[in-house]
Amino acid sequence: MSKRMWILFTLLSVLVIAGIYREYINLPLPQHLNCKESMLVQMFSDKCTPRDGLIRKSN
């Protein structure tokens, strides 16, 4: 494998591990993920339509 592939693989691995860790410690969702609009639309229009079904399940 080339050096670029190893770098890409490492970055993807870090992102996956960070996502799993975030779920494991039950961090709250960032505010921009509670809206249906993309973050770019939210920045320019100050519009936020709340999503349905974003309630986390507690174990």
Residue 50 lies in a domain: no
pLDDT of residue 46: 85
Long-range contacts of 34-37 (CB under 8 A, 24+ apart): none
pLDDT of residue 57: 54
pLDDT of residue 16: 95
pLDDT of residue 56: 55
Residue 39 lies in a domain: yes
pLDDT of residue 14: 97
- Determine the structural domain holding residue 31 and report its residue range: 3-45
Residue 37 lies in a domain: yes
pLDDT of residue 53: 63
pLDDT profile of the chain (59 residues), mean per 10: 93 94 83 82 86 59
Residue 54 lies in a domain: no
Torsion angle in degrees (nearest 10) through CA of 22, 27, 30, 33: 70
